Amino acid sequence: MKKTSDTSKTKSSSQKTRYVYNFGQQTDGNASMRELLGGKGANLAEMAAIGLPVPPGFTVSTEVCSYFYANGRSYPKTLGKDVDAAIKAVEKQMQREFGGRDNPLLVSVRSGARDSMPGMMDTILNLGLNDKTVEGLASISDNPRFAWDCYRRFIQMYGDVVMGVQAANDESEDPFHALLDDMKKTLGKELDNELSAEELQELVTRYKALIAEQTGKSFPQDVYEQLWGAVGAVFGSWKNDRAILYRSQYGIPAEWGTAVNIQAMVFGNAGDDSGTGVAFTRDPASGEKVFYGEYLTNAQGEDVVAGVRTPKAIAAMAKELPKNFTDLEKVRARLEKHFKDMQDFEFTIENGRLFILQTRNGKRTGLAAIRIAVEMTQEKLIDKKAALLKIPAESVDSLLVPVFDLKAQKEAKLICKGLPAGPGAATGRIAFTAAQAEVQARKGNKVILCRSETSPDDLKGMLHSQGILTTRGGVSSHAALVARQLGKVCICGAGDITINYEKKTLTANGITLKEGDYISINGTTGLVYQGLIESADSEVKRVLEGTMKASDSYTYELFNTVMEWSDKYRKLRIRTNADTPAMAKTAVAYGAEGIGLCRTEHMFFEGSRIDDMRQMILAVDGVQRREALKKLLPMQRKDFVGLFKAMAGRPVTIRLLDPPLHEFLPQDDAVRRQLADKLGLPLEFVIDRIKALHEENPMLGCRGCRLGILYPEITEMQVQAIFEAAAQLLTAKTPVAVHPEIMIPLVGFKAELADQLNIVHRIADEVMKKKNVKIKYMVGTMVEVPRAAITADEIAEHAEFFSFGTNDLTQTTLGLSRDDMGLFYDEYQQKEIYSKNPFASLDKTGVGKLMQFAVTNGLKTRKDLKLGICGEHAGDPDSIDFCHKLGLHYVSCSPPRVPIARLAAAQAALRSK
C-alpha cells in the first residue's frame, strides 16, 4: 500500500519506515522494487547485486516524494540521519570524503520514476564541488583542467536546475552557454575541451557572478546544502510542465512520484583514456540485433545526450579503447540475458576502468518493439507469451503507416543525409520552434520540427509534429529518444544543415528553405528532401491487398507472427465498425471477425442520396415520408448486399438510424434554395421545416430509437432492406451466408426496445414469407445511456445482445459533450483531473462501473446474452483489457485498429491468467 505520510512517527523504532536503500558493497533493493525505488534505483540495485561494476550510492524512495508533496515540500524527520549514514557508506567504499578538501567525494543526483521518463525531470552531476574541493580534485587527479571543467559544469547545472538561472524564452540562449560561447569566441577556440584550466577557472568566476546577479544569492559552498537543494529540485521536477505533459501522454499516475538516486561520480572527462557513452543492446530504431550506441572520449554523460558534441558510433571504440570495448560487449550480453529485454545503458570509463551507471529497458520504435520480441523468442531468450506482453499494442500501428512513394522519393530533391533515428516517412511544413509547430498544427498543417538540437521543453512541439529533424546530436540524443517513443519520424545530426533561427531559414548544400516551406524526411534512411513527397501504402498493407509477395517483406513476416500468436491467446473476438464494403474488406484483411457496428446514417451521405434523405426528413406526414423512403430502399438494400458479401458469413451488426435528423439538412441559404428547387417545394416551406426540426440540445433530443418510434416507416424501410438483401444472397446461384444482427440505438426503456422489436420481427417475417427463405438473425440494443445500464435486467428481456456505445455512455454519464470538451480539456490535463481523455480511454471507475452493472444484471435475465462494445474505446488497449475482465465477447473498433485490438486482447488474456 502507498504511504503518503510519515508513518515512522506511529511505529516503534524497530519498525521505522525505511526511506533510504543502499547499493554497492551492501545492496538493499532489487529489480522487483520499481514502485519504491523507481526503475533506475531498482536496476542499479540489481546490477550491483549481480556484480556489475556500478559506482556505489543510494536511493531515496518514492514514498519520500509522496511525503514531500503531502507535507508542504518537507521531508520525513528521520530522512536526514539516514542520508548522512548512506553518504558515510559511500565515502567508505570510495575512500573519499564528501566535502573533504584533500580527497573529495562527488555525487550525481538523479530522478528515477517507476517508468522511465527520459529527460523530463532534473539531474545534477559533480555535486560536492566548491572553491576548496575543486583544488583537492585537481591535485588527486593531477589534472586541474579536468577539476575546473567539472566545477563549471556543476555550477551550470545547479544554477539552472536548483537556482532557476535559465533562458528567458524559447528563442533566447541559455545564459551559461552564452558565457561559454562568448569566452570561446574571444579566445578564438572552437571546442569546449580546448579551454585551459585557467580559462575554465575564469569561467567559474563568471558563472558565479551570473548566479549572484540573477538570483541575489551566492552559489552554495556547503556540500550538504548543495545536496538538499538538489534533492528538493529533483522531487520538485516531478511536477514540472514537461513531466506533467509526459505523464498525461503515457497515462502515468501523478501519485507514483519519483525516487532520487545519489551515486558516487566517476569521471569520463578525466583524460583521453576516459570517456562516456550510451549503448543499446540492439538497435532501438530498427530492432536489429547489433550493438548500437555512441560515446565520446574525455566527456561527461550530458555531452552525449544533450547533442552538443556529435558522438562517435560505438563500433569505433573497438579501435580507440579496445579493452573497454571487449568488456562492454560482455556487459551487453550479460544485461540482456539477465533482464531479458533490450537494455539502454549508460557507461563511463574513468582512466581505463569501466563503470555502468544505469540500465533500463530501452525505449524503442514500434517496429523495433515487434522485431525484438519476435527475435528474442526465436533466440529462446523469452517465450511467446512474454514476447507478446513486451510489445506495446499501439506499436503495431507503426507497421501499417504509409511510407514514401518510391517513385516520388526518387524524383524529389535530396538536401542531405543525417542519422536515421526514428523510422517512417514524414512530410510537412518547416517549424523552427516548438511553439510554432503547435500553432501550425492547430491550423491543420502537417509540421516538421527543425532544430539544432531539442531539449525536453520541446516535447509539446514534438507531439504536434509529423517528424523531427535536428542538425546536431546522435541517435541517443533527446530528440531521438523522445521521437522513438512517440513513434515520430526522426533524423538527427544532419550536420550539413545550418539553421538560422533569427532569419527563420534552413540551409544545406546550396538550398535554403524558409519557415512554412515543405520538407520531407525519411527516418528509415536518414535522407532529407526538399518539398512534399507523396506517400504510399505500408508493406503490410500491400501484402494484405495482394500487391506484394509476403515472402518479400520481413515487416509483414513480423506482423503476421505477432498476429498469429495473439490469436492463439486472446479470448475476445475482434469486430470492426464499418459502413462500406471497402472498409469491411480492409478490416477482414486485418483480421476482423465480424462487423460490430454499421452506422447506417453514413450510407445516406453519398452522392445524390442526401437529397432523397432530405425529402424524407422534410415530409409532413407518413404518406409523404413513405414515398421518399421508397427511393431510399433500393439503395440501402444494395449497400447491405455489398456489406454482407464482403463479410462472407461473418456476423454483421446493423444499427438503425441514430443521429438527429437536422444533421442532414443544409445550413447554407444557397443550398437550401437549391434543395427547394430540386424537390419542387417553396423555399419558405423548407426554411420553416428546418426551423421546426431545430433542437436546443440535439444530442439529447430526437435521435436514436426515438426516431424509429416517431417515424416507424424509417425502421420498416431499413429492416426491409436488410432482410431483402439477406434473402437475395441466401437464394443466389452461389449462396452467401449472412448473419444480420439488428441493433436499436439509444434505448433507455424496455418499452422503447419492445416497440422497435415488434416492427423488426413483423417486417422480417413478411420478407421471409415473401421470399420463401429462413434467415437467422438477432435483435439487440446499444447500451449507451445510463438508464439502459441501470435497467439492464429489464432491457435484456427483449435484447438478445448488448453493445456498449461508450461514446454516448461516456457523454451521458459524465454530463460532458463529446464535441465540446476542447474548451477546458487542456486545463483538466494540466491539473491532472482526468488521467486520460475519457473519450479515448474508458473511465473505468465511472462508466466502467455502469458497464459492470449492466453485464451482471443483463446476464441474470438472459444467460446467453451476447456482449460487445462498439464505442471508440474498443480500439484502446487499456479499455480492451477492461472489456476482457468484464467478460465481454467482442470489441468492435475501426478497421486500422483491428490488429492493435488483436494484440491487446491477447495481452489482456495473458495478464489475467
Q: Judged by CB, which is closer to Mg ion: 475, or 867?
A: 867
Q: Judged by CB, which is closer to ligand PEP: 453, or 784?
A: 784
Q: Where are the alpha helices (DSSP H) in 13-107?
A: 34-49, 62-70, 79-94
535-549: b (≥16 Cβ within 10 Å) or e: bbbbbbbbbbeeebe
Contact 311, 297 (CB under 8 A): no
- Give the 3-state secondary structure of residue 58: strand
Q: Which does 597 bind (CB under 5 to 8 A by kind): Mg ion, ligand PEP, none?
A: ligand PEP
The catalytically annotated residue of 870, 873, 883, 884 is 870
Phi-psi region of 291 (alpha: psi -120 to 50; beta: other; left: phi over 0): beta
Q: Measured from the CB of residue 659, what is the shortest distance to ligand PEP in angstroms?
A: 7
The catalytically annotated residue of 65, 150, 416, 478 is 478
Q: Which does 599 bind (CB under 5 to 8 A by kind): Mg ion, ligand PEP, none?
A: ligand PEP
Sheet harboring 258-264: ordered strands across? 20-23, 57-60, 258-264, 107-113, 123-127
802-830: b (≥16 Cβ within 10 Å) or e: bbbbbbbbbbbbbeeebeebeeeeeeebe
- The CB-nearest residue to Mg ion is 808
Rounded to 5 degrees, what are φ and ψ at 417?
A: -125, 135
- Residues 6 or more apart from 566 whose CB is under 8 A from it? 388, 902, 903, 905, 906
Q: Judged by CB, which is closer to ligand PEP: 279, or 652?
A: 652
Q: Which does 806 bind (CB under 5 to 8 A by kind): ligand PEP, Mg ion, none?
A: ligand PEP
Q: Measured from the CB of residue 366, what is the shortest distance to ligand PEP in angstroms?
A: 27
Q: Measured from the CB of residue 601, what is the shortest distance to ligand PEP in angstroms?
A: 8
**Grid coordinates of 565:** 500468436
Residues near Mg ion (CB under 5 A) are: 784, 805, 808
Q: Which does 837 bind (CB under 5 to 8 A by kind): ligand PEP, Mg ion, none?
A: none
What is each CA distance from 398 to 368, 541, 548, 556, 564, in whole angstroms?
A: 10, 12, 18, 12, 18
Contact 796, 862 (CB under 8 A): yes
Q: Measured from the CB of residue 655, what is the shortest distance to ligand PEP in angstroms?
A: 7
* Helix or strand holding residue 197 (H, E): helix 197-215
Residues near ligand PEP (CB under 6 A) are: 597, 599, 658, 784, 805-808, 870-871
Q: Judged by CB, which is closer to Mg ion: 755, or 808?
A: 808
**Grid coordinates of 149:** 571543467
**Grid coordinates of 1:** 500500500
Instruction: Report how far residue 658's alpha carbon sits from residue 575's, in angstroms, rounded to the nearest whole number.
Output: 20
Residue 598: active-site member: no
Q: Judged by CB, which is closer to ligand PEP: 434, or 847?
A: 847
Q: Measured from the CB of residue 873, what is the shortest distance to ligand PEP in angstroms?
A: 8
**Grid coordinates of 463:** 507531439
- Report the candidate in 396, 415, 387, 665 with the shortest Cα–Cα distance to residue 517: 415
- Report the candidate in 107, 104, 91, 96 with the shortest Cα–Cα distance to residue 132: 104
Q: Measured from the CB of residue 741, what is the shortest distance to ligand PEP in angstroms?
A: 14
What is each CA distance from 671 to 500, 545, 690, 850, in whole angstroms?
A: 49, 40, 13, 43
* Residue that has been written with the C-alpha cell 521518463 in this structure: 117
Contact 282, 289 (CB under 8 A): yes
Return the ∠ at Cα 271 (arms to 269 and 277), rounded to 5°.
45
Q: Measured from the CB of residue 585, what is the shortest distance to Mg ion in angstroms?
A: 25
Residue 705: active-site member: no
Q: Judged by CB, which is closer to ligand PEP: 61, or 811?
A: 811
Q: Measured from the CB of residue 861, what is the shortest distance to ligand PEP in angstroms?
A: 23
Q: Which does 424 bind (CB under 5 to 8 A by kind): Mg ion, ligand PEP, none?
A: none
Q: Which does 877 bind (CB under 5 to 8 A by kind): ligand PEP, Mg ion, none?
A: none
DSSP secondary structure letter of residue 16: P
Helices 554-569 and 366-378 cross at an angle (nearest 10°) of: 70
Q: Judged by CB, which is closer to ligand PEP: 658, or 755?
A: 658
Q: 10 Å Cβ neighbour count for 347? A: 25
Bridge partner list, 599: 655
Q: Which does 881 bind (CB under 5 to 8 A by kind): Mg ion, ligand PEP, none?
A: none
Q: 10 Å Cβ neighbour count for 198? A: 11
Return the ∠ at Cα 237 (arms to 235 and 238), rounded to 5°.
70
Q: Judged by CB, which is closer to Mg ion: 438, or 784?
A: 784
Q: Measured from the CB of residue 463, what is the shortest distance to Mg ion in angstroms?
A: 29
Contact 94, 146 (CB under 8 A): no
Q: Judged by CB, which is closer to ligand PEP: 283, or 658?
A: 658
- Give the 3-state secondary structure of residue 266: coil
Q: Judged by CB, which is closer to ligand PEP: 97, or 808?
A: 808
Instruction: Report how far residue 180's alpha carbon sits from residue 168's, in angstroms, rounded to the nearest whole number.
Output: 17
Q: 10 Å Cβ neighbour count for 593? A: 20
Q: Measured from the CB of residue 892, what is the shortest distance to ligand PEP in angstroms?
A: 8
Which residues are part of the catalytic machinery? 478, 870
